[in-house]
Amino acid sequence: MASRAAQKRLTREYKTISENPPPYITAHPSESNILEWHYIITGPENTPYHGGQYWGTLMFPPNYPFAPPAIRMHTPSGRFQPSTRLCLSISDFHPRSFNPAWEVSTILIGLLSFMTSDEMTTGSVSATKAERKLYAARSRWWNSTGGGSHVKAGGKAAQKGNVKAGDGGAKFKSEWPDVDKENWEWMHEAKIDTATGNPISAAPSCGPQLGIAAGSGHQGQAVVDAVMQRRDDGRSWLSRNKLLAAGSAIFIYVLIARILGEGTS
């Protein structure tokens, strides 16, 4: 249960961050527990996280602001282990280094700064830029489906911020109903398979395909040449070169006639 000081401080900070949210960040406390905050970081431009929707929690101690929160990011990002406490100077791993003047916005700005750096710590992971871009592209699907677990989940939400794939996106929906609705609309418009997070393949055509990409003119010509060559392989030289043979015969006939004519004269 939050102390009176923590209740007052977090209420004020919610008002501040709602009226003036930091770039790429939105956050609010849970309706049932002011010590449990939920945030969404939108991946900044010029980073592998661009366009990603990264959801996480801050679990504040009852004596906040004299002790820091536990920080988790639930959405897979290729930067942090999902739903794992992160060891940062602004987290509960280092209570002595926490400054009571730091606010929720300060903590989340620090998290975003660390996320876009290359520094490693407890709870962080290594991944390529391509892998992180893939996580970013799948983040909205993951948040609203619980990583596809909505297919089997009974809608039971995880508790106390310890969110993992398996709750079918119930916890995310309960905290971010408007964002969740937008995510489902996006998945429908983008034709995303909600069970896998992959684009739904186009229906196969009714006829056989040559397997030549559109615009690949040189590949098409190669196929035509191959077909012609195969057809020619089964025919004799004479049948393939009728015009050449006829022209040669006429030339020889005229030449012989001219020679014979000159001889008689």
Q: Which residues are part of the catalytic machinery?
A: 87
The CA distance from 173 to 159, in Å, is 13
Task: Report the run of H or E that residue 70 belongs to, with start and end.
Answer: strand 70-73
Distance separating alpha carbons of residues 71 and 35, to the nearest angstrom? 12
Task: Give the whole-angstrom CA distance, residue 47 versus residue 28.
Answer: 25
Distance CA 83, CA 125 (A): 13
11 CB neighbour count, 10 Å cutoff: 13
User: Is residue 31 classed as helix, strand or coil in its secondary structure?
Assistant: coil
The CA-CA-CA angle for residues 134, 140, 145, to 5°, reads 110
DSSP 124: B
